Structure 1
Amino acid sequence: MKGIILFSLFCCLTIYHLKAQNNLNSIEIELINKGLEKSYALKKSIYELEIDSIQTRSIRQNFIPTLELDALYGYGASKINIDIPTVQMPITGIELFEGESEFDTQGQVVNTNLTAKALLFSGMQVKYGSKASEEKIRAKNFLLIAERAEIIKDIIDTFDKIELLKHSEIVISKSEDRLAKEKARVINAIDNGLAIPYDRDKITVAELNLSSVKLELYGNLRLLYLKLSMLTGVDLSTLEKYSFNLTPWKLEEDNNTFNDRPELKALDASVKAYDYKLKMNQNSFLPKIQAQASLSYSNLFNANLETPFSLPGGENVNLELNKFQLFPTYFVGVGMHWDLFDGLKNSNETHKTQIEKSIAEEEKTDAEEKLMLFSKKMQVNYEVKNQQLIIKEQEMLAAENSLNLAIKSYREGLISVTERLQTETEYQNAVLNYYKFVAQQRMAALDLLISTGSLEIENIKN
């Protein structure tokens, strides 16, 4: 029989993939959305994506012309020593530039340049650099989807645990009610000499045990509400008014496979990013061409030159300049920058990128194998949980019948109080086990959706 079940499970793996529908109510969907909005980890990832988007735009914007304005004002002075061949004047016989001559000069300068530059050809660096950056963003976006799926799973798991404890409380409360009635009947029987105090004491011990379990249950329930409040940002008093589903998940056919996992798509985008980075490195030998135009204003004023020479009358020969202005001065041209030899830096960078690409490809292959196995495992696990859930439901019904029979048999004196209380415990365990398996089946369904990249709000809302 076991072999037949396993064979049927294997057949199911080959004929369908799954998508969830109608498994969450509107309140649960709202809380999941609040959780996604509040998640600090998710916000951090989104901010990092925005930074990457800015960097991508910056790469493309290299082709946008730039306009620069610079201005300079200064005062300069210098002492000049020169020694040139002596020149003798033909009529006077005066010798000029005899020995070393010393000059003092000073003046003020103003210079202003307005320059426009435009990159015409980047050697394919901008094209491939921006594409590599885009693929990097795609990879992070896919990882963001995976991160969202884990947050959704965590919130739904918290719903299920809260509802499981609520069902446990109901089971315990009903047991307490039955024991209270049984105890009242036993006390009455003792008063009439039809029962012994032992039966009453055994029921009292069972009641105390249930009270202890209930106290622990309330503590755990409080912690789960605190966790849900932390995840969603909704206050405790509001959350405690909500009811959550704890019913088996129903999944329908879907075309997604493990190849649709966002982690695999992220690795694929990462490989493509390295492809573009490699092309960028391989084209670095191409020249960069830039157009440039400038308009400048220059002015040298209040300048003078003091010489050691004297005129025949004894007056020193000093030269003065009131203004020497250049405006407008235009320049328009195209420049080229070509790295003919960069000391093997680009060769090393290309080799490094090739290795990084190989690592990414190996990671992708490894992930494909592991995720394929994980997907198969999750499908088997989901089908097994469905089968087990049917069995646990039958166990619960059988335990309920046994409990009803035990209550009747105890009152008729056919079984002892110990057997009666044991049947009560078995019923409690059967009911709680059923709901535990419901929670496990729901988690198995979520894992199955994650294994095919299908766990998104759109796939699980009403």
Structure 2
Amino acid sequence: MAFKTTTTIIACLATFLGVSQTQLEVSPSLQEAIEKAIDKNAAIKNKLLEVEKINTERKSVWNKYIPKIEGSANYMYFDTNITVDLPTGQIPVLNQPIFDEKASFDNYGNILMGSLMAKTVLFSGFQIENGAKALAQKQQGTTYLAEAEKENLVKEVIHAFDQIRLLDAIEILLEDSQKRLAIETKRVERAIEEGLAIPYDRDKIKLANLELEGKKIELEGNKKVLFQKINYLTGYTLEEINQVNYLLTPYSIPENLSTENKQELKALASYKKASAYAIKKEKGSYLPVLGAFGGVSYTSVFDATVITPNLPIMNNNLYGKLNEFTLSPNWMLGVSMKWELFSGFERKHKIHKAKLNALQIDNKLTDAKEKFNVLLENNISQYQIQNQKYQIGLTQEKVASHNLSMAIKQYQEGLINISQRLEAENDLLKAATNKVNALINQRLAALEAILVTGELTNTVLTQ
């Protein structure tokens, strides 16, 4: 009989649903779906891109110690007029005055200049070192946040597939109930023909069947929503989603859970270290910056002309012609120091701001530790509650199954009416649904408890 078959299935399922000793076990197909979701998730991708950006910025800071080489080339044509006004003097013997008025010189020509210079920082007051260390800690903190995104996604994917399993289980229960009602319908039809039953019984069974059909339609709608969600999370098609199979078994979590490895806490700890390096970096601005430079230059003046005003005695202008005047090679090598002794309190304000940032992060870290500890206790409590509810659900289902068996026999013997028979059917459906729903909640509570420890991704993906 269908009832015996259903009872056997329930008994087997109860055997599988005993508390598993394997911690957060997932099937290979579910694990693959989780990995697909991680690869597809935009938030995780952006966090990893942010990590890469910070790493590039850190390298850029260290690169300030690498010499920078600059080359330049300039050509200039000049055409100028120089005016000179010197004190008036006398030429001995001739008694001829000179410089008795302003003199103007016309100059024009060409200048060609080129240089190749190298510059480097020798000492930055430890600003480069501390700045790079701050960015390294910031990079590590952002990496932890990317891991936190992964953990949240793992929980979301598993729970979404669990909900699919829940709907599948309820659908099986509805179909089993419909099969039993179909048998009752045939029995009632024969009884009506023989005058042993009335059409009212048949109509009550028909109404119960319609209610089951309504629940199946609702299940299909809920499934479509879940399929769309899983498609968004993993990129899976409907066929691929249906290929993810696993048994719904309770999760078992270890005792003495801790939040020490919570990714968000480790991220804040890294940011705290980064803020300490940032303070040291700003304090380094009180020290001088030393650098070195060296290079070679080329300078040439060519085709230049100087025209003087009328000269005494000669009473005529002089033309001076320069074909070329070149300095090459002109080697240079030296060191430089820049020491900002007073910055208008700008450095003081930057250091104060860095200290305030450090205090903010420290406050966040302290607060986060307290919140996650409270959350862990709450999640463990919820896990224990859901475990108890699941055990109660198993007992309720067992009792409801026995009651239904008795109700079928009593109805066949005419000891109870159709309403009582259908009530027993509904009780089993409700008890079995509540049991599977309690199992889903138990698994979710276990996932959330492990999530607070920061070990969810490692637990699931390293099996």
- Shared fold (TM-score greater than 0.5)? yes
The yes-or-no answer on 1:157 pairing with 2:137 is no
Contact 2:145 2:263 in 1 (8 A): yes
CA 1:20–1:369 in structure 2 vs 1: closer, same or farther (change >3 Å)? farther
One-letter code aligned to 1:158: A
How far apart are the structure 1 equivalents of 2:305 and 2:462? 87
Distance in 2 separating the partners of 1:22 and 1:294: 66
How far, CA to CA, are the matches of 2:104 and 2:262 in structure 1? 84
Q: SS at the partner of 2:351?
A: helix
Mapping of residues 26-175 of structure 1, within 5 Å: 26-90=28-92, 93-175=95-177
Greater mean alpha carbon deviation, residues 54-63 or residues 97-106: 97-106
Q: Which runs of 5+ in 2 are unaligned?
A: 1-20
Q: Which residue of 1 aligns with 2:371?
A: 370
Task: Please list, as runs of the form range in 1=range in 2, the aligned pairs for 1:246-395 lying within 5 A after superposition.
Answer: 246-252=248-254, 257-310=258-311, 315-395=316-396
Is the CA contact 2:25–2:460 (under 8 Å) kept in the aligned structure 1?
Answer: no
Corresponding residue for residue 201 of structure 1: 203
Please tell me whether the aligned partners of residues 24 and 459 of structure 2 are also in contact (alpha carbons under 8 angstroms). no
Show the counterpart of 2:9. Answer: none
Match of 1:13? Answer: none
Aligned AA for 2:26? L
When the two structures are superposed, what TM-score results if normalisation uses the length of structure 1?
Answer: 0.92
1:218 is aligned to 220
Residue 145 of structure 2 aligns with an amino acid whose one-letter code is: L
**Post-superposition shift, 1:309?**
1.8
Q: CA deviation at 1:431?
A: 0.5
* Structure 1 gaps, min length 5: 1-18
Provide the aligned C-alpha RMSD in A.
Answer: 1.9
Secondary structure of 1:332's aligned partner: strand
Verify: 1:183 aligned to 2:179, yes or no: no
- Aligned residue in 1 for 2:243: 241
In the alignment, the residues of structure 1 paired with residue 455 and residue 105 of structure 2 have an alpha-carbon distance, to the nearest angstrom, of 87
Give 2:15's aligned residue: none
Aligned residue number for residue 9 of structure 1: none
Contact 1:21/1:460 (8 A) holds in 2: no
Alpha-carbon deviation of 1:95?
A: 3.7
Matches of 1:164 and 1:370 in 2, distance apart? 32
How far apart, in 2, do the equivalents of 1:192 and 1:339 lie?
Answer: 111
Cα contact 2:47–2:145 (8 A) shared by 1: no
Q: Partner residue of 2:454?
A: 453
Confirm or deny: 8 A CA contact 1:160 1:245 kept in the other structure: no
Q: SS of the residue aligned with 1:258?
A: coil
CA distance in 1, matches of 2:387, 2:32: 28
**Corresponding residue of 1:12:** none
Alignment of 1:437-448 (within 5 A): 437-448=438-449
Displacement after TM superposition at 1:92 (Å)? 5.2
Partner amino acid for 1:129?
G
Q: CA deviation at 1:94?
A: 4.5
1: distance between equivalents of 2:304 and 2:88? Answer: 27
Match of 1:14 in 2: none
Whole-Å Cα distance in 2 between the matches of residues 324 and 392 of structure 1? 103
Cα gap change, 1:458 to 1:450, in 2 (>3 Å)? closer
Moved more, 438-447 or 90-99: 90-99
Distance 1:20 1:376 in 2: 22
Partner residue in 1 for 2:8: none
Measured after TM superposition, the shift of residue 313 of structure 1 is 6.6
SS at the partner of 1:309? coil
In the TM superposition, residue 388 of structure 1 has moved relative to its aligned partner by 1.8
> Contact (CA 8 Å) 2:29, 2:243: kept in 1 or not?
no
Aligned to 1:230: 232
State the Cα deviation string for residues 106-154 of structure 1 (Å, max 9, x = none).
1211111111111111101011111111111111111111111000001
| TM-score, normalised relative to structure 2 | 0.92
Alpha-carbon distance in 1 for matches of 2:346, 2:314? 70
1:5 corresponds to which residue? none
In 1, the alpha carbon distance for the partners of 2:314 and 2:149 equals 96
Structure 1 residue 89 displacement after superposition: 3.6
- Is the contact made by 2:24 and 2:253 (CA closer than 8 Å) also made in structure 1? no
Deviations 1:148-178 (A, max 9, x none): 1000001001110000000011000111111
- Between the aligned partners of 2:278 and 2:403, the Cα distance in structure 1 is 71
- Distance in 2 (CA, whole Å) between partners of 1:461 and 1:79 is 84
For residues 302-326 of structure 1, what are the alpha-carbon distances to aligned partners after superposition, in whole Å with 9 as ceiling and x for unaligned? 1111122258676521111111100
Q: CA offsets, 1:269-291, max 9 Å, x none?
A: 11111111111122221111001
